[in-house]
Structure 1
Amino acid sequence: MVDGRDQGIPGAARLTRRIGAGDLGAVAGVRGALRELWAHRVADDPAYTAELLTTELVTNALIHTAYGAVVTATLDGDVLRVEVRDFAPEPPDPYLPVSEERTHGRGLLLVQALADAWGMRDQGIGKVVWFELSGVKPAA
């Protein structure tokens, strides 16, 4: 669901979406909702980066837990912030893939490399992995 305006952050655009356990098909829907949220508000480069990083975090939550996820994205001024909450207590494990041929294991490495800030916090049952892109310019 796209909320448009968040009551807690005046002027901020916000999206919140719940994704069922194992629903990898919903990842494309989250990307589409992000495009809708940021349309005409954010230049292409940071928007594409945010989509990529969000895809990685959501996919990790769905593959590595059995409980689904909640995605919250906020655009407040020139800061994009995305949080992906899952309901499993294990912390994320960024690691280098053993082989160039492996097709997984790079998601958190991408987040570390491309986000201006990122982190993880406990959230009751489960955790939230988040990232921010700062200095975001409006779309031309």
Structure 2
Amino acid sequence: MPPDVPPSASWRIALPHSTAAVPIARALIRTALADIDAPADTDTAELLTAELVANAVEHTRSDEPIELVVELLPTGCQVEVHDRDPAPPGGLSFPRPGGEPDPWQEHGRGLLLIRTLSSSCGHRTTEHGKAVWFTLPSLTPQS
């Protein structure tokens, strides 16, 4: 690996399956990326992480904790949120039928934000449910 490319680092943190998880996740992603001087946009990472965690809390029924996984990559960062519901998140990979969310509604724009602001996003089935993820590119050009 070239000397100017940071080594990979990752964190895996259990969060409560409650609305308290959202501000905790925001603080964790902000602190983790700042502590390692991550090359990704911290504000965007914080916003999209909050959206994933809020969706996991709101749309899954479980007393089990959800899990936040942050991985620093040489090309940016990847964030995953794991929950116990294997059902895919509707509207993450493609817009829902009927077009974009109604701007007057309180909900419905989180997955649009993730699709728009991340360099890639998706979901995968896990042994205990699913992981929903996004990646952000490095803000600094790689040599």
Check whether TM > 0.5.
Answer: yes
Structure 1 unaligned spans of 5+: 1-9
Equivalent residue number for residue 32 of structure 1 = 27
Of 73, 77, 80, the residue aligned with 1:76 is: 73
**Separation in 2, partners of 1:15, 1:136:** 21
**Separation in 1, partners of 2:112, 2:103:** 14
Equivalent residue number for residue 3 of structure 2 = none
**Separation in 2, partners of 1:25, 1:136:** 30
1:11 aligns with 2:14: no
Q: Judge conservation of contact 2:41–2:138 (CA < 8 Å) in 1.
A: no
Q: TM-score if structure 2 supplies the norm length?
A: 0.78
Aligned-partner residue type, residue 69 of structure 2: T
Q: TM-score if structure 1 supplies the norm length?
A: 0.80
Stretches (4+) displaced over 2 A: 10-15, 135-138
1:56 aligns with 2:51: yes
Structure 2 unaligned spans of 5+: 1-5
**Separation in 2, partners of 1:86, 1:118:** 16
**Separation in 2, partners of 1:125, 1:33:** 23
Aligned length: 126
Of 87, 90, 107, the residue aligned with 2:87 is: 90
Superposition CA RMSD, Å: 2.1
